[in-house]
C-alpha cells in the first residue's frame, strides 16, 4: 500500500504543514499523516496570525518560501501594523483571520504541492534501526518507511482536557489524544515533561451589545505578510475591546475551589505571557479590570473569540462571569473555555537542525519542543522540513544565526537554554532587532532559500529589483540638497527647526518628525525623481537612511560576536578532558553539546571563565 518516502511528517498543524510543504517543494517525496483530514492547519486557539515579534516570524517564513504568509493574507478579515508609534524594529504585522478559510486555503495549497501525499491515521510510534529513524507505525498497523521523520504532534501527546472538575483525554476539544509515542521515545532514552495551555469560550455574536464596547478598526493600508502579490480583502471586519470588572472577578473567584489549576489537578506549567483569566485575577489582585478583545471568527459566522478570557473554570462559572462584562449581559455561549495538558520534550535534546541528538533522522518541531503559538510552530516546521531534506541528501544543514532571523533566535534559545514553560517570541529576545525588521525579511533570507532551491525565481527577482531600486533612491537622495526657502515652510508646519543654509536631504531625514513622503510631497524636484516609486521601496529606503547609524552599530556588534560564533566545537568533542571546567558547565556542555563557542557562552549556568577554558583548549 505504501512505498518508501523520503520524509514523513506526523501531524498537520502549523509546524507539520510548513514542514511537509518545504520538504516536498525541495524535491523530497513526503507523506503528511494527520488524525483528521478536516482539521489541517486548524487555528486551535485565536483566529489571528502575527503580532509583536510573531509578525516578523511570519514574514521570515514567507521570505524563505513558506506558505503561512500567503494563507494569512488570503484569509484575513482585518490587518493592523502594531507598534507604529515606535521605531521600525518594533513594527509587527498582525492579521485577524477567518478560521475556516485559513484551514481551507492551507489545504488547497498543500494539495497543489508536488511530491506530497496525505494519509489519515494516528501514529503510535517511530521505527528505528541502529540509532536511526526509518519510519513510523500507525494506529491501523501500517509500517510506513522513510529516510527521515518529523514529529509535529502539537498538544496531542497524552493530552488531557480540563473544564472545572471534569477532565478527559483529548488533543483538542472533541478530538482524541495521541498515545504511545511519548512512552516509546522515553524508552529510547528521551526526557519528557508536561506543559499546559488554554483557550477561552466562544460566544454567539448575535447576543452581544457592541455599542457598549470600544471599536477597533483595521489599518486603512493593508500590507499583509507575503512579499508576493497576494489577494487582500476589499473590506475589513471590526474587532472590539471591553473589560472585566470587580463583579466578574468575584464570580470567577467563587469557582477557584473547582479550578483544576488551583486544586493541583494540572501539573503542567502554563504560558507566562498568556495566562488564564483566573490566573490574572489571582496574580494581579490589585487590578480592578482586565482588557478583553472581542474578535470575529470569520466572514460568514457569528461566532466570537473572547481574547483575554482563557479559562478552565466550570462552564457555569464561565457563563455567569461573562454576563457581567459590558456588552455581554445577554451573551450565549457556543462552547466553554478549557485547559489542555500535554507532553513535550525539552528541546536541549535537539541539534540546531531540529534533529534529535539521540536518534538520527528524527526531527521535532512545534509544541513538542515546548513552544506556544502558531508562528513559533510554523517556523520550526519549515526549518525541520528543509534540514530533513538536506540531511538525507548529504547536503549542508541550513542554520540561521541570531543575527540573521528571529527564527535563529528562537531555535538558539530552545537548543541552548531549553524551556520549562511554553516559549513565545518577543522582540526583547532578539539582541539584533534593528537588523531583524519585518520590512527586510526578504532582503535577509530569500537569497539563502533560493540557493537551497526553496524560494522561487519570482521571489529572487523581486528581491534583486527591490535592492536595486532602494539603492537608486538612496543615491538620488544622497546627492540632493534643499535650500532654506523651499524647505523651511515645510519644517515650520511640523514645528521643526528651520535651516539657515543649504542642507542635504538625507540629513533632514534624520529628524524624527521628517518623513520621506513629506519631502516628496513638498519638494517638486524630489517628487519628479522618485514620486512614482512603490511605497514598499520608499519605506525601505527611508528606514535604511534614517536608522543607518543604529543599523551599522548592530552590524559591527554582529561582526565582533561572530568571532565566537564561528569558532566551531567538534561534534564528538570530549568535554571531560577539560578538568578545570566547573561541574555545572561540564554537565551542561555534555547534555547540550554546543556546536560553537558562542552557543556555549549562552548556556544558563556557564560562566565566562568556563568559556575561556574552552576557548584556550580550542586554540591549541
Query: In this structure, what CATH number is given to the domain that contains residue 582?
Result: 1.10.150.570
**Taking a C-beta distance cutoff of 8 angstroms, is the pair 177, 160 a contact?**
yes
Same domain, 490 and 573: no
pLDDT digits (tens, 9 = 90+) for 4-50: 999 999 999 999 999 999 999 999 999 999 999 999 999 999 999 99
Same domain, 536 and 588: no
Same domain, 572 and 547: no
Q: Give the span between the Cα atoms of 75 and 224, in whole angstroms.
A: 11
Q: Is the pLDDT of residue 422 over 60?
A: yes
In 3D, which of 575, 602, 572, 604 has the Cα closest to residue 589? Answer: 575
Q: Report the percent of the chain where pLDDT is more than 70.
A: 100
Q: How many residues does the structure list for the chain? A: 620
Same domain, 546 and 580: no
Same domain, 226 and 314: yes
Q: Is the pLDDT of residue 620 over 60?
A: no
pLDDT band, very low/low/confident/very high, at 155 (cuts 50, 70, 90): very high
Q: Determine which helix (DSSP H) or strand (DSSP E) holds 564, and give its type and residue range.
A: helix 548-565
User: Is 23 within a domain?
Assistant: no
**At a CB cut-off of 8 Å and minimum separation 6, what does 18 contact?**
61, 66, 67, 68, 378, 379, 381, 382, 385
User: Is 614 within a domain?
Assistant: yes
| Owning domain of residue 593 | 567-618
The whole model's pTM is what? 0.95
Same domain, 473 and 586: no
**Taking a C-beta distance cutoff of 8 angstroms, is the pair 59, 443 a contact?**
no
CATH for 500: 1.10.10.1800
pLDDT band, very low/low/confident/very high, at 1 (cuts 50, 70, 90): confident
Cell triple for residue 115? 511530491
User: Is 389 within a domain?
Assistant: no
pLDDT digits (tens, 9 = 90+) for 589-609: 999 999 999 999 999 888 888
pLDDT band, very low/low/confident/very high, at 619 (cuts 50, 70, 90): confident
Average pLDDT over residues 411-439: 95
User: Is 591 within a domain?
Assistant: yes
Average pLDDT over residues 190-198: 98
Same domain, 223 and 252: yes
Same domain, 232 and 329: yes
Same domain, 229 and 324: yes
Residue 261: per-residue pLDDT: 87
Q: Give the span between the Cα atoms of 575 and 128, in whole angstroms.
A: 28
Alpha helices in 396-435 (DSSP H): 406-417
User: Is 577 within a domain?
Assistant: yes
User: Is 493 within a domain?
Assistant: yes
pLDDT band, very low/low/confident/very high, at 133 (cuts 50, 70, 90): very high
Same domain, 468 and 587: no
Residue ending a domain, choose from 551, 577, 596: 551
Residue 193: per-residue pLDDT: 98
User: Is 609 within a domain?
Assistant: yes
Residue ending a domain, choose from 302, 320, 337: 337
Residue 572: per-residue pLDDT: 87
Residue 204: per-residue pLDDT: 99
Residue 569: per-residue pLDDT: 92
Residue ending a domain, choose from 297, 314, 337: 337
Same domain, 223 and 330: yes
The per-residue DSSP string of 134-185 comes to EEEEETT--EEEEEEEEE--TT-BT-EEEETTEEEE-SBTTB--B-SHHHHH
pLDDT digits (tens, 9 = 90+) for 469-511: 999 999 999 999 999 999 999 999 999 999 999 999 999 999 9
**Taking a C-beta distance cutoff of 8 angstroms, is the pair 173, 386 a contact?**
no
Q: How many domains does the chain have?
A: 3
Residue 323: per-residue pLDDT: 98
Same domain, 207 and 276: yes
CATH for 280: 2.40.30.260
User: Is 571 within a domain?
Assistant: yes
Amino acid at each position: 500500500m505504501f512505498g518508501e518516502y523520503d520524509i514523513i511528517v506526523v501531524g498537520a498543524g502549523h509546524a507539520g504543514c510548513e514542514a511537509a510543504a518545504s520538504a516536498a517543494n525541495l524535491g523530497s517525496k513526503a507523506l503528511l499523516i494527520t488524525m483528521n483530514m478536516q482539521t489541517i492547519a486548524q487555528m486551535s486557539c485565536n483566529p489571528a496570525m502575527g503580532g509583536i515579534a510573531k509578525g516578523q516570524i511570519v514574514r521570515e517564513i514567507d521570505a524563505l518560501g513558506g506558505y503561512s504568509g500567503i494563507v494569512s493574507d488570503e484569509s484575513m478579515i482585518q490587518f493592523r501594523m502594531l507598534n507604529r508609534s515606535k521605531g521600525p524594529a518594533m513594527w509587527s504585522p498582525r492579521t485577524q483571520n477567518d478560521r475556516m478559510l485559513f484551514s481551507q486555503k492551507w489545504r488547497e495549497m498543500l494539495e497543489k504541492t508536488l511530491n506530497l501525499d496525505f494519509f489519515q491515521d494516528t501514529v503510535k510510534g517511530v521505527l528505528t534501526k541502529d540509532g536511526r529513524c526509518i519510519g513510523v507505525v500507525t494506529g491501523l498497523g501500517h509500517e510506513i518507511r522513510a529516510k527521515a521523520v518529523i514529529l509535529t504532534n502539537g498538544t496531542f501527546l497524552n493530552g488531557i482536557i480540563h473544564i472545572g472538575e471534569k477532565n478527559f483525554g483529548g488533543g483538542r476539544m472533541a478530538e482524541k489524544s495521541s498515545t504511545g509515542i511519548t512512552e516509546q521515545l522515553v524508552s529510547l532514552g528521551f526526557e519528557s515533561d508536561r506543559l499546559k495551555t488554554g483557550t477561552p469560550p466562544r460566544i454567539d455574536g448575535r447576543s452581544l451589545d457592541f455599542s457598549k464596547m470600544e471599536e477597533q478598526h483595521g489599518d486603512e493600508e493593508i500590507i499583509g505578510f507575503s512579499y508576493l502579490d497576494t489577494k487582500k480583502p476589499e473590506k475589513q471586519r471590526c474587532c472590539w475591546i471591553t473589560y472585566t470588572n470587580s463583579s466578574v472577578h468575584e464570580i470567577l473567584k467563587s469557582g477557584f475551589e473547582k479550578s483544576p489549576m488551583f486544586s493541583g489537578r494540572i501539573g503542567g506549567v502554563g504560558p507566562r505571557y498568556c495566562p488564564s483569566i483566573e490566573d490574572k485575577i489571582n496574580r494581579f489582585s490589585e487590578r480592578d479590570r482586565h482588557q478583553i478583545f472581542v474578535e470575529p471568527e470569520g466572514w460568514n459566522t457569528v461566532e466570537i473569540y473572547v481574547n483575554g478570557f482563557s479559562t478552565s473554570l466550570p462552564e457555569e462559572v464561565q457563563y455567569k462571569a461573562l454576563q457581567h462584562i459590558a456588552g455581554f449581559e445577554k451573551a450565549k455561549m457556543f462552547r466553554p473555555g478549557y485547559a489542555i495538558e500535554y507532553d513535550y520534550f525539552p528541546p536541549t535534546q535537539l541539534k540546531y537542525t531540529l534533529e534529535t541528538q539521540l536518534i538520527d533522522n528524527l526531527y521535532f518541531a512545534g509544541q513538542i519542543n515546548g513552544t506556544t503559538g502558531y508562528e513559533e510552530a510554523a517556523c520550526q516546521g519549515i526549518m525541520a522540513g528543509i534540514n530533513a531534506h538536506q540531511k538525507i541528501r548529504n547536503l549542508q544543514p541550513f542554520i540561521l544565526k541570531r543575527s540573521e532571523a528571529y527564527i535563529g533566535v528562537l531555535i538558539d534559545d530552545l537548543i541552548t537554554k531549553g524551556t520549562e514553560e511554553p516559549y513565545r517570541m518577543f522582540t526583547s529576545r532578539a539582541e539584533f532587532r534593528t537588523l531583524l525588521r519585518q520590512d527586510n525579511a526578504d532582503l535577509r533570507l530569500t537569497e539563502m532559500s533560493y540557493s537551497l532551491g526553496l524560494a522561487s525565481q519570482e521571489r529572487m527577482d523581486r528581491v534583486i529589483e527591490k535592492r536595486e531600486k532602494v539603492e537608486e533612491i538612496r543615491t538620488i537622495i544622497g546627492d540632493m540638497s534643499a535650500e532654506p526657502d523651499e524647505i523651511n515652510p515645510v519644517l515650520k508646519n511640523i514645528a521643526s527647526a528651520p535651516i539657515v543654509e543649504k542642507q542635504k536631504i538625507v540629513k533632514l531625514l534624520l529628524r524624527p518628525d521628517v518623513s520621506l513622503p513629506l519631502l516628496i510631497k513638498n519638494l517638486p524636484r524630489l517628487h519628479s525623481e522618485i514620486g512614482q516609486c512603490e511605497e514598499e521601496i520608499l519605506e525601505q529606503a527611508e528606514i535604511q537612511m534614517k536608522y543607518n547609524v543604529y543599523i551599522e552599530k548592530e552590524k559591527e556588534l554582529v561582526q565582533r560576536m561572530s568571532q565566537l560564533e564561528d569558532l566551531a566545537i567538534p561534534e564528538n568533542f570530549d568535554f571531560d578532558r577539560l578538568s578545570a571546567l566547573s561541574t555545572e558547565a561540564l554537565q551542561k556542555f555534555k547534555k547540550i553539546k554546543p556546536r560553537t563557542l558562542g552557543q556555549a557562552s549562552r548556556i544558563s549556568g556557564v560562566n565566562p571563565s568556563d568559556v575561556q577554558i574552552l576557548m584556550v583548549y580550542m586554540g591549541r
